[in-house]
Amino acid sequence: MLAMKYDSRMEYLANTWVKKCQFVHPTIDDELYQNTSQNLAISYGNPIIDFPQYIDRWHEERKDYDYNKNSCASGKVCGHYTQVS
């Protein structure tokens, strides 16, 4: 497993994007961050889903992750899981 460490460039990119206040994934041209992503969530109406519930939903994608191949199973989505795990 790779160790996570603080990155001031990533902080800058994240802050720049957040200030735009858009609910879409950004396109980042910086080669250092082409393999990065973010998890987006929004809740409205009734009942409102709280943030821990979103994390649980993203974590459920683990069933579709193949650790031997270090990728998602064919036709499955598990990128949210890899971001929170």
Domain layout of the chain by residue ranges: 47-85
Report the pLDDT value the prediction gives residue 32, as an integer from 0 to 100: 64
Question: How many whole angstroms separate alpha carbon 21 and alpha carbon 84?
Answer: 22
Question: How many whole angstroms separate alpha carbon 65 and alpha carbon 77?
Answer: 8
Report the pLDDT value the prediction gives residue 60, as an integer from 0 to 100: 94
Measured on CA atoms in the order 72, 73, 75, 78, is the torsion positive or negative? negative
Spell out the per-residue pLDDT of the chain, length 85, in tens.
Answer: 578 899 898 898 888 888 888 888 777 676 766 767 788 888 888 888 888 998 999 999 999 999 999 999 999 999 889 888 7
Q: Decide: helix, strand or coil at residue 2.
A: coil
How long is the chain? 85
Largest Cα–Cα separation, the chain: 41
Report long-range pairs for 68-75 (Cβ below 8 Å, ≥24 apart). none
| Paired tokens of 49 | 């889903």
